A and B are shown apart, each in its own frame.
Chain A
Amino acid sequence: MRFVFDGREHIAEPGDTLAAALLRNGVRIVATSLYAGRPRGVFGIGAEEPNAYVHVDSGGGETMLRATQVEVYDGLRARSLAGKGDLGTEPDTARYDKTHAHCDVLVVGAGPAGLAAALAAGASGARVILADEQPALGGGLLGARALLDGAPAADWLAAAAARLAAMPEVRVLPRTTVTGYHDHNYLTAVERRADCLADPPPHMARQRLWHIRARQVVLAAGAHERPIAFADNDRPGVMLAGAAASYAWRHGVLPGRRAVVFGAHDGALVAARDLADAGVEVAALADVRDGSVVVGTEADADGVLTAALIAPLGADGRPAGAPERVGCDLLAVSGGWDPAVHLCSQSGGRLAWSDEVAAFVPATSAQQERSVGAARGTFDLAAALAEGSDAGAQAAEATGFQGSGAELPTVESVPMDRQSPADERPFGAGRALAGRPPAAFFCVEPADEAAAGRVFVDLQRDATLRDLRRAVGAGMTSSEHVKRYTTIGTAADQGRTSGVLAVGLLANVLGRSMTDVGTTTYRPPYTPMSFALLAGRDRGRLADPERITALHAWHEARGAPFEDVGQWKRPWYFPQPGETGQPQDTMEQAVLRECRAAREDVAAMDASTLGKIELQGADVGEFLDRIYTGVFSALKVGRCKYGVMCAADGMVLDDGTVSRLSEGRWLMTTTTGNAGVVLDWLEEWLQTEWPSLDVRCTSVTEQWATVALVGPRSREVLAGLAPDLDVSNESFRFMDFREAEVAGLPARVFRISFSGELAYEINTPSWYGLALWQAVMAAGVTPYGTETMHVLRAEKGFVIVGQETDGTVTPQDLGMGWAVSKKKPDFVGKRSHQRADTARAGRKQLVGLLPDDARTVLAEGAQLVTGPPPTPPTPTHGHVTSSYRSAALERPFALAMVIDGAARHGETLYAVDGDQVTPVTVVEPVRYDKEGARRDG
């Protein structure tokens, strides 16, 4: 396989990660550090990697990926990053999917403990999901040298995989990182799919986000290797010891030829032996427990490691005596293993320091989870297998299955006391290498303050021991403060190699225990997740559902621009040929024409988006009396009535009409945007306060298409469409409701007007909506959109909830005291109208405005002041809520909410919009047909 890194082509072997391939090709420097500008090499082998961050250009591209976790495919192109990602200039257009799953037992991590858990849980018949971030199952067993059942670990892994594959209720998800452990055993996981393939099939999503609700969780995520800090510990060539050995035994890549191994626990010795057995010359072994430490390094002109400086440790814990220089190109460091407690901590579990394993381990459990194996500090292979098996069986039992544990292999370790064939010196003949407790050792004291500035605690942040000491000197005593002062642990590696180190250093400096200092909080996600993945398919048109009416296609075909009202698409206006110019000019011409048609001829609007709620039951009238400010119980069958409803605070919530269809059957309309809110509101009162009322309600908004037929000729058009309907003013009165056949379609016709003109709202089942509309249009009716509807209603001084109102306006403020019953003992909001501020005179009230120049269309949102020029701070007297050019008035006009407005008709105010100041006269809000002569045609 060929791949390109930083412009140079290299060869990789199957199974290589980018980090392994770079080591294979002798690439020592893989990054430049962000702040100090120092060269850095591959440091780890997995999610803990702090240095080797890359931008992958091939396959759609992704930034800030850990080279240790990027699988190489043929044709991969990548480049190094200096700790900062590159978003590029073009969006990622790849597809990201989301999926949901439920299971009895989720096992996180397919190392030995996780596999044993999955086998045990799976054998019980429970539904199991086993997720592991690597492409192959095995975790720490991959490349391990132990013999299982007398055979290489790979054989047992293959057999375990086969057994799991044969269990129908077990789902194995490789390349899947469990990233979050949320409340109620809800976990998220990222599955990498197309992004690790050279030539993925076109249907395949790049990544998939899993949402898993698990009844039980087994956390077997393994452990991360912790370094030890010392001066110049950031040279390319300094690497985690276990990682170095794994590159050798798993990938067949030697990360160096001559190594110094520096450690504080048996794991470092195992790594030294494994490196030696792989053919690396182990030149020296510095074990803290033997009083030997690395105090510094030397490098060549490029900054790459050439030697380690080893010195004995004095009784005071500081290096003592002259250091010995040992030439090497690999310095393998291991301070211990930190169990991957992230998910346990995210789930609410507490952590505690264990002296036995010299690490933080899970201490308490808050949800239905258990940690096993290295994730709880059990590093012995046989013990981890047994723990996993027990946990898998227990988890299955907790979900009602009969678990019996997995059949476990015998484990035969590579003898620990074997001499190195490569070099006897560091190991010593016949010396027992294993079995000693680990040392909790974090940092080798540097020679001086300058050197402390080169003891890197957080490699990615270039944060050093000196920074940490400054923080403590400044008065910082909590690990959270130190993190924030120094930035240690805040980089893209999420502090995997620096977090516990910093706690250890802080505990040392402050003389407090590890548990007392404690870690900073582990927060989701476990590894970074791309924005595009989290967005999934909720992008573009799918960002939010579009609601369209039954007539939508007709509007589209007629070239109507649409207005977004909530999720609805509503036709805004219907431009005609000849109406040209800038969009706003086209709109003005169209709207003036549409308005004239409605006032002088006949016009129609698609009003289907109005909320429609049907109410049934014996007590609907009583219920409506409580909900609306007006009286509805007296409404007769076949009649309609306008109503306003208030929230408990007395402010206008919504308005609309109610029609009584039959004795126990009522139809309420709501504003388009509030339909859902109002239904929720009605149901809340019915269920939680007045369950004894016999009322049921349901939304019928989408069952009906509604055509508003408006204008002096509307009666004539309706008569033509509904020959059987008596449309005379005497028998079909204003605010009457009739069922009729219109254009041969079943319909409900309401004589309701939101324009002041003679008008009808014709409802037909949505299925027939388009047919009705076409029949209306065929009668020579002018279609109009929401803008014309707004102008017509504003000319009449009719308000729109959400435009004239903003949650601070009462019906009285709108001059609609007539809609508020004085007789009813109570309705929702009534008591609030009596409060001091709500009842006072001089509140903001609805008025009309006429620009003095009779030309300027005021900006909606303009503020009103008493005199120009406004020099701040100038108190506002109100604001413009609606403003239009009126065909009927042959001038612009506006509605506004003005302090004490009802008493100020005739007064001059100044409308301020940006730098534009326009004198206006306050007038009463009804500008057209004040007598109401037109509504009967």
Chain B
Amino acid sequence: MSERSERTVRRSDETPEHPDFLWRDPEPRRHYDVVIVGAGGHGLATAYYLAKNHGITDVAVLERGWLAGGNMARNTTIIRSNYLWDESAAIYEHALKLWEGLEDDLGYPIRFSQRGVLNLAHNLGDVREGRRRVNANRLNGVDAEWLTPDEVKKVCPILNTSPDVRYPVLGATFQPRAGIAKHDYVAWGFARGAYQRGVDLIQNCEVHGFRRDGERVVGVETSRGFIGAGAVALSAAGHTSVLAEQLGFRLPLQSHPLQALVSELLEQVLDTVVMSNSVHVYVSQAHKGELVLGAGIDAYNGYGQRGSFHVIEQQMAAAVELFPIFSRAHVLRTWGGIVDVSPDASPIIGRAPVDGVYVNCGWGTGGFKATPGVGWVYADTIAHGRPHPLAEPFALERFVTGALIDEHGAAAVAH
């Protein structure tokens, strides 16, 4: 007894509480200037910036389930802007700068923690591509460093940097300003901000189809009746193909399951984000103490919000290989999201082939980190009826011209 009572008990989770008031569920009105389909992070951020930056508040965000209950509730919350190509770096860095002021802007404790992200290199090809990306990032004003294995070890002491493993760590890119945030807090912060500015957040409202007048869209058919719209902005991630089909056009997207998992709460052991493309795992330790891990997508198309178990097993093998002390952690919960993957692993943002319709999709596994940036850019695009300069390179037309923005990273080294 004495031993126990002497033990210091402290509140280890400093996570602040949510505000007392967030939003109310309204009845949908008959018409809005802008109807956003999908109340995920992107849809909510778009509504927020439409209202805040452009004074457009006659806006409804329609959500078929519960608000921010899709990929926003399922992602691993990694935020970074260290993309290779100038076009990608520009939009992700725009997002990262917004992240840096977002807590104040939203007045919501989103717990953006700039703990840095390591992208590990395990072969000479990885090293080459990592350095290429670091140097490209620096020219773009994105903070990036190349770290040797010894430097990696200093940033992340529990990482196995021994040369005696199957795929030793040969170095890493490091972006110190990268980090994580609390996904629900982010979504609810945008939702509250939009709600306060007059946006209607309409849950349990599934879109079944669209009404057109000639070439132009005039509204959406929903499970709660017809809702007229001056403009329709799709923001439905993995379900975008389904909506596009209802509108009569096709998009170069494939929807795949992407799985993630958490451990139980653990004493703090990892204070940076670590990603490895070659060994296929990414991991961070969330504010409360759980390890949050993800891996590659499941190969097949799937809207089931679940994937195959062997993917989890491979991911755990990778995690234990990189972090031997993780061997004692437990998988507490696994789940899947539905990611919409485009052919060049870059998003599609801009006007759709139907007048009055805008698309924002194809973010694949990278949507969360872009949330404020894409909300900003997409809102601007909708408000002015033309692509925001940062969105221009991401237009659908690039698949016709061939001007892709290929973010797959380099292919495997050959010869």
Contacts and interface: CB of A to CB of B under 8 A. Distances in A.
Given A564-B123, A802-B412, A182 B328 contact: no
B400 A87 contact: no
Interface range on chain B (Cβ under 8 Å from partner) = 35 or more
Given A35-B11, A861-B135, A85 B146 contact: no
Contact of A673 (B73, B184, B414): B414
B11 A37 contact: yes
Contacts, number: 316
Contact of A862 (B125, B127, B131): B131
B316 A34 contact: no
B324 A800 contact: no
Contacts of A865: 139
Interface range on chain A (Cβ under 8 Å from partner) = 35 or more
Contacts of A32: 4, 7, 9
A61 to B, nearest CB: 7
A17 interface: no
B331 A529 contact: yes
Contact of B309 (A85, A188, A650): A188
B71 to A, nearest CB: 14
B328 A912 contact: no
A674 interface: yes
Given A88-B325, A534-B316, A873-B139, A474 B413 contact: no
A490 to B, nearest CB: 8
Interface stretch (A138-146, A393-401, A803-811): A803-811
A182 B141 contact: no
B145 A566 contact: no
B249 interface: no
B404 A808 contact: yes
Contacts of B331: 525, 528-531, 534
A435 B413 CA distance: 73
A769 interface: no
Given A180-B309, A873-B140, A801 B401 contact: no
B16 interface: no
B203 interface: yes
Interface string B391-415: 0000000101111101011111111
A555 to B, nearest CB: 17
B98 interface: no
Contacts of B329: 63, 85, 87, 530-531
B77 to A, nearest CB: 13
B213 interface: no
B414 A802 contact: yes
Interface string A789-825: 1100100000011110111100000000000000000
A565 interface: yes
Interface in A540-565: 540-544, 546, 563-565
Nearest to A913: B135
Contacts of B27: none
Interface in A73-95: 80, 82-92
Contacts of A742: none
A476 B330 CA distance: 30
B318 to A, nearest CB: 8
B312 interface: yes
A518 to B, nearest CB: 11
Nearest to B187: A484
Nearest to B268: A84
Contacts of A512: none
A62 B264 CA distance: 13
A480 B66 contact: yes
Interface string A764-793: 000000000000000000000010011001
Interface string A517-534: 000010111001111101
Contact of B128 (A539, A803, A875): A803
A914 B146 contact: yes
Interface in A467-491: 470-471, 473-478, 480-481, 484-485, 490-491
A102 interface: no
A870 interface: yes
Contact of B141 (A80, A534, A807, A872): A872
Contact of A534 (B17, B135, B136, B312): B312
B4 A29 contact: yes
B308 interface: yes
Contact of A535 (B145, B304, B319): B319
A835 B401 CA distance: 5
A183 B308 contact: yes
Contact of B139 (A37, A491, A532, A876): A876
Contacts of B165: 540, 543
Interface stretch (B18-26, B40-48, B371-379): B18-26
A806 B406 CA distance: 9
A581 to B, nearest CB: 17
Contacts of A879: 132, 135-136
A689 interface: no
A546 B1 CA distance: 54
Nearest to B405: A808
Contacts of A805: 411
A475 B400 CA distance: 46
B327 A92 contact: yes
Given A532-B320, A879-B136, A86 B18 contact: no
Contact of B402 (A80, A477, A532, A838): A838
Contacts of B100: none
A474 B326 contact: no
Contacts of A734: none
Interface string B100-137: 00000000000000000000001111011111111110
Interface string B59-77: 0000001110100010000
Contacts of B141: 872-873
B19 A474 contact: yes
Given A87-B267, A563-B123, A872 B138 contact: yes
A838 B400 CA distance: 10
Contact of A34 (B12, B318, B327): B12
Nearest to A490: B333
A540 B415 CA distance: 26
A6 B133 CA distance: 51
A546 B166 contact: yes
B313 interface: yes
B25 A90 contact: no
Nearest to A524: B334
A914 B328 contact: no
Contacts of B18: 470-471, 474, 485
A473 B10 CA distance: 28
A476 B11 CA distance: 26
A912 B138 CA distance: 9
Nearest to B66: A478
Given A32-B9, A474-B18, A872-B138, A860 B203 contact: no
Interface string A56-70: 000001111000000
Contacts of B128: 803, 860-861, 881
B317 A473 contact: no
B402 A835 contact: yes
B19 A29 contact: no
17 contacts: A32-B7, A34-B265, A85-B264, A474-B19, A474-B20, A525-B331, A529-B331, A534-B313, A539-B317, A543-B165, A649-B404, A674-B412, A806-B409, A807-B408, A808-B406, A860-B132, A861-B135
Given A806-B410, A862-B135, 9 more contacts: A84-B267, A85-B328, A87-B325, A183-B306, A475-B22, A530-B328, A802-B414, A865-B139, A873-B86
Interface of A: 6-8, 29, 32, 34-35, 37, 39, 61-64, 80, 82-92, 180, 182-183, 186, 188, 211, 302, 470-471, 473-478, 480-481, 484-485, 490-492, 494, 521, 523-525, 528-532, 534-536, 538-544, 546, 563-566, 610, 649-650, 654, 671-674, 786, 789-790, 793, 800-803, 805-808, 832, 835-838, 859-863, 865, 870, 872-876, 879, 881, 912-914
- Sorted nearest first, the 6 A-B pairs with minimum C-beta distance are A671-B414, A861-B131, A91-B324, A872-B141, A528-B330, A861-B132
